[in-house]
Chain A
Amino acid sequence: MKLVLKNVNVLNPHQNVNVKNVNILIEDGKFKNIGELTNAEMKDAKVLELDGKYIVPGFFDMHVHLREPGREDEETVVTGCNAAANGGFTGIACMPNTDPAIDSAEVVTLIKKESANHLVDVYPVGAATVGRKGEVLSPMAELKDAGVVGFSDDGTAIKTASILKRSLEYAKMFNLPIIEHCEDESLAGGAMNESINSTLLGLPPIPSVAEDLIVMRDILMVEYTDSKIHIAHISSKKSVEMVREAKKKGIKVSAEVAPHHFTLTDDAVKTYDTNVKMNPPLRTKEDVSEIIAGLKDGTIDCIASDHAPHSIEEKEMEFEYAPNGIIGLETEIGLALTELYHKKILSLEQMIEKLAINPRKILNIPMPEIKEGAIANLTILDVGVVWTVEKKKFLSKSSNTPFDKKLLTGKSIGVINKGIMYFDSSFSKI
């Protein structure tokens, strides 16, 4: 099967490629020719007139919650992958707080089996401890052989410094990162960020220092054990500052941020809409400013959605009692382009680094290349299109998002990977 992407700009900072107005021939799922195409090459090909859109390496979201096994009513591996494709991603890493947790090879195998024939590559992250209880290390070697790309107790931080030390030391053997949800357990349990807003709204507060304490603990431990760690969903000013200082000293720490943490502040909570309830919570504009500065100067390596599907009944509840989390795969690129690219905070090259290159680097996943002979793994970006978010059109099984009806500029209009294309809302083999 032949596919021609007509009149596109190709951009991949990883390969140092930046070419304008070329045509791309993809045959049997691989790049056949990039540049001028002959009539023979175009013959019998499906042609997509792309009119100056960008072809970039397939985007990768390294923090996604697929709710399989355990809560297939909220999301399955397949529906999560569909949402990822619709959002513009060709690869995701999924978190281990399923039921049962991803603490055995069997669960890894299940997830890999469910996603085997999907356009989107799924890389499970194993639990750092059995059942994520923070007591005993999970069988990391076995999990690695089954295919995990990192370890985390996400949902909570790794319980104690001693378990953290052992996890870092053990995972070091496989060169796999520990991914940490930074939150001090004794300060947890509130419903929103501690600020004047938590007082005005009468909601039990979570102080930002709860995150900072664990970031500090983990940086010290990584330094001591000469290992590496990835900070999940960073949200606090002080945490960003500490990561910056640690990187300067050569400590192997990386960080990701979720789009809601550079788009919204805790002012949004005043409606008591549970679709603005997540952990870490929305914080103040000082925190948002530092996150944007961190994205700009490279302190924050990548953007990841923390896509957290929840059923309607779970979210249709009193604010304090509702579970934390919002979906994010299908608004991530739009929010990132609107808030970062169009506001001239990041260049398009930097966007690709944050969304395609760095996540794979951190997880040691092979980098897709846009060159002849390589498997076509790409995202088609329309950076200028203005569109309205409509959650009822989402492919995710859940719809817990605060961004419904929001006007955004820029989105992915299609993805290609492993000989499958998702374009114009439909999947097809190419």
Chain B
Amino acid sequence: MPSILLNQKRNRNMPLSSRHLLGMRDVPKEDIQLILDTATTFREILERPIKKVPTLQGKTVVNLFYESSTRTRISFELAEKRLSADSINFAISGSSVSKGETLKDTVKNIEAMKVDMIVVRHAAAGVPLMLTKLSESNIINAGDGIHEHPTQALLDMYSIREKLGKIEGLKICMVGDVAHSRVALSNIYGLKTMGAKVSVCGPSTMIPKYLEELGVKVILNIDEAIKENDVLNVLRIQLERKAREYFPSIREYAKYFGIDQARLEKNGKDILILHPGPINRGVELSSDVADGISQIILRQVTNGVAVRMAVLYLLGTLN
């Protein structure tokens, strides 16, 4: 599949096929495997008393987060510091952006300070792609609007592979507000590339109208979703955003789409449940389920640092 990514140089020394990670859509299977295998190595480093390697020493990475985020930003920051890179956080509030500076000017200014890599999160889709045209740095998408969040999908796939030994052939379902979830879309792309059978489940107001064209099955009933799948990736209902308008009430959502222990037992399955965090307890997952799977969810977080280290390392050595 031809890539829409710019600044792509096919170079024998390049482990990955692009110098950026803008999304999962154009990442070939070999690249995903390389990232996951590399992450395994870094995962081991995270168990050592000294969690640092000199791999990216001397490199400067800017975390350009236009949307507030704690977990993803800290995860990236730790990944960068553990690789010995110089990590800088650009906080939007109190910055030139609150004075009205455009994205273009902000990026050009950062670029002028001679940085090597930019990790960007923004509320508008397409911003990471814009950055590839404004900057010479490697660009890593940490979430652009309702478009993609590739490192989340990669860490989800890593976690699945770690627990179940494979991805290919597994039946995996994204549950929740699929239409407004960049985690869902990136997972759909990545999982399909790796050969999983992907489905989605949620209220029909939250399922994109043409999603089936991507080869994804739509399930409107949570019991069915549990019965039919090996893995559920349960998305956060974004109550602070427009998500509220797409279903009548939290009570209704929790009752008909929430996953609690009773529901799991009723459908009698040993199923792997993932969640990108933070969990809305009592909404998409009941407290008892959240506690019951807390090990996996926390493992996702640890894996996240390893996967981000892998991505930074592989892209950072392409410069």
Contact = CB atoms under 8 A, between A and B. Distances in A.
Interface of A: 194-196, 198-204, 207, 270-272, 313, 316-321
Interface string B121-149: 01111110110000000000000111110
Contacts of A201: 125-126, 147
B274 interface: no
B130 A202 contact: no
A353 to B, nearest CB: 37
B82 interface: no
5 closest Cβ pairs, A-B complex = A202-B147, A272-B126, A318-B124, A202-B125, A196-B210
Contacts of B44: none
Contact of A272 (B102, B103, B129): B129
B104 interface: yes
B185 interface: yes
B124 A200 contact: no
Contacts of A270: 4
A204 B145 CA distance: 9
A198 B211 CA distance: 10
B207 to A, nearest CB: 10
A319 B124 contact: yes
Contacts of B182: 202
B241 to A, nearest CB: 11
Contacts of B104: 316
Nearest to B124: A318
A400 B214 CA distance: 33
6 contacts: A199-B208, A202-B125, A207-B209, A272-B129, A318-B103, A318-B124
Given A194-B209, A316-B104, A200 B126 contact: no
Nearest to A322: B124
Contacts of A321: 124
Contact of B146 (A196, A204, A317): A204
A318 B130 contact: yes
B307 to A, nearest CB: 21
B9 to A, nearest CB: 20
Nearest to B127: A318
A194 B213 CA distance: 13
Contacts of A271: 4, 129
Nearest to B242: A204
A362 B145 CA distance: 43
Contacts of B185: 199-200, 202
Contacts of A198: 208
Nearest to A200: B25
Q: By CB atoms of chain B within 10 A, which of A196, A198, A199, A203 has the most?
A: A199
A320 B126 CA distance: 9
Nearest to B148: A202
A201 B185 CA distance: 10
Nearest to B207: A199
Interface in B75-121: 102-104
B126 A318 contact: yes
A321 B102 CA distance: 12
A320 B210 contact: no
Given A195-B210, A199-B179, A200-B25, 19 more contacts: A196-B214, A199-B185, A199-B209, A200-B185, A201-B125, A201-B126, A201-B147, A202-B146, A202-B185, A203-B125, A203-B145, A203-B147, A271-B4, A271-B129, A272-B129, A318-B124, A318-B127, A319-B126, A320-B145
Interface string B17-33: 00000000100000000
B214 A202 contact: no
Contacts of A203: 125-126, 145-147
B122 to A, nearest CB: 7
A7 B181 CA distance: 64
A198 B145 CA distance: 12
Contacts of B213: 196
B223 to A, nearest CB: 26
Given A200-B25, A204-B146, A272-B130, A313 B125 contact: no
A202 B210 contact: no
Interface string B205-237: 000111101100000000000000000000000
B231 to A, nearest CB: 22
A318 B146 contact: no
Nearest to A316: B104
Q: By CB atoms of chain A within 10 A, which of B103, B125, B182, B211 has the most?
A: B125
A319 B122 CA distance: 12
Contacts of B123: 320
Contacts of A272: 125-126, 129-130
Contacts of B148: 202
A200 B208 CA distance: 10
B118 to A, nearest CB: 15
A319 B211 contact: no
Nearest to B129: A272
A413 to B, nearest CB: 36
Interface in B44-64: none
Contacts of B179: 199
Given A196-B214, A201-B147, A320 B125 contact: yes
Contacts of B25: 200
